[in-house]
Structure 1
Amino acid sequence: MNESRTPSSSPSQPSLTERRKAATQLDIARAAMELFTEKGPDGTTAEEIARGAGVALRTFYRYFRNKQDAVGPLLASGGARWRELLAATEPGTPLLQALEAAAVTSLSPQDAAAEEALHGTRTLLRAAQEDPALRAVWYRVNQESEEQLLPVIADLTGPGADPLETRLTAAAATDAIRVALELWSTTDSPTSGPGSPSALAARGLRHLVG
């Protein structure tokens, strides 16, 4: 039976409750990022993160399993922006060109807040080298991003696309972005120009997806 949906139940229009939940998660994630940057994951407690976000400890654990898990929303935001740009690609654009253009735009900070967010990602990826729990969050975020990329690529390639090629493309493209950010995090390269995340991602996409 078909039932008409109200705007609040539409997938493209989150309900007020969902928006509040997302806002709380982001507040907690930002507090965790600040503390991790200042003290490192080992020197930070869940209690401190909750206090920094202005929420009760029980609220923290309602949304996140542990302190490392708390930065997941920030680590996932770049992939969400990439998929959003990719989904808005002009019809008929070659897939590799679309993937590269969206990646370069999403990894090129346009303001001070985006610049700070990218540097925050570098801090987290450096910490993840010595923190298995944080590294697991990063890998999970990338796995989820790959799965969410599948329908976007399927839409761009059309109904006749080979499912195997679609999955391989999603995996290769996601790994190209992941490796670019991981490599950049091991350097002191700036956020633009040679050696930047956008430049490394573009190179990676050409090698893997091309």
Structure 2
Amino acid sequence: MSTKPSVTLTERRKAATQLDIAHAAAELFATRGPDGTTAEEIALRAGVALRTFYRYFRSKQDAVSPLLADGADRWRALLEAAEPGTPLQRALEDAVGQALATPDEEAERALLRTRGLLRAAADDPALRAVWYRVNQESEERLVPVLARLAGPRAQPLEVRLAAAAATDAIRIALETWAATDAGTQGPDSPVGLATRCLRGLVGGMEPWGREAAAEPR
């Protein structure tokens, strides 16, 4: 069984600093909007030097990427823990149900913060580009996870298509929810919408346990 390389103290400190900057950027964007916020103000709020800010992020909008990627990272980690051969639909729905759940106030605040960022992205092309980039990176990282779950019989095309469809399902659900005042629980919550989207987009693309498709003659 392969093991993941351990994270060094330097890497943990780097990640913690990036997250501090991301939280500061999200707080300022929520109150002032991206246009009313400067990189200098984000660095000051985070307690770091401006050069430190630019060491980690290319722009003020890019600074929130760790927060936008957090949900996808948790979802992917849950999928990585699923047993190989688990039906695709069940694996995805179970993982998203846990990743987007709000069992406590901290989880609810995190989801509402994502709503604020997505609303800001609607009027800020640079922030929207960060959101799309985060989703593209998530899709690419999801491919090997789904390939492991599918097993050797799955066609690479099917696995890639499933990764793309699943990523878009979550993205569309979050964007739809962010444009409303729906709560964090219930049928119109991120979990409820994501489940509906997954069933609509991923249904019929079940590589798990299926024999390799015959080549066209």
Both proteins in one fold, TM over 0.5: yes
SS in 2 for 1:183: helix
CA distance in 2, matches of 1:48, 1:37: 14
TM-score by length of 2: 0.91
CA distance in 1, matches of 2:11, 2:146: 27
Q: Which amino acid aligns with 1:134?
A: L
SS in 2 for 1:139: helix
Deviation at 1:190, TM superposition (A): 0.2
Deviation at 1:92, TM superposition (A): 3.3
Match of 2:109 in 1: 116
Match of 2:129 in 1: 136
Match of 2:12 in 1: 19
CA distance in 2, matches of 1:21, 1:172: 32
Q: Which amino acid aligns with 2:141?
A: Q
CA distance in 1, matches of 2:6, 2:193: 34
In structure 1, the gaps of 5 or more residues are: 1-9
Match of 2:172 among 175, 179, 182: 179
CA distance in 2, matches of 1:94, 1:66: 41
Deviation at 1:30, TM superposition (A): 0.4
CA distance in 2, matches of 1:110, 1:64: 31
Deviation at 1:194, TM superposition (A): 1.5
Q: Which amino acid aligns with 2:151?
A: G
The root-mean-square deviation of aligned C-alpha atoms, in Å, is: 1.0
* Residue 82 (1) aligns with residue 69 (2): no
Match of 2:186 in 1: 193
CA distance in 1, matches of 2:155, 2:85: 17
Deviation at 1:16, TM superposition (A): 1.1
Contact 2:19–2:66 under 8 Å retained in 1 = yes
Match of 1:166 in 2: 159
Match of 1:208 in 2: 201
CA distance in 1, matches of 2:59, 2:85: 44
Q: 1:62 to 1:179 in 2, by over 3 A?
A: same
Deviation at 1:161, TM superposition (A): 1.2
* Residue 54 (1) aligns with residue 36 (2): no
Q: Which amino acid aligns with 1:47?
A: E
Deviation at 1:11, TM superposition (A): 4.2
Contact 2:84–2:150 under 8 Å retained in 1 = no
Deviation at 1:189, TM superposition (A): 0.2
Give CA deviations for 1:174-210 in whole Å, capped at 9, x if unaligned. Answer: 0000000000000000000010000000000001101
Match of 2:144 in 1: 151
Give CA deviations for 1:107-138 in whole Å, capped at 9, x if unaligned. Answer: 11122111101000000100101100000000
In structure 2, the gaps of 5 or more residues are: 204-217
Q: Which amino acid aligns with 2:62?
A: D
Aligned residues with identical type, % of pairs: 70
Contact 2:24–2:45 under 8 Å retained in 1 = yes
Map 1:91-130; keep pairs closer than 5 Å: 91-130=84-123
Deviation at 1:37, TM superposition (A): 0.8
CA distance in 1, matches of 2:104, 2:35: 31
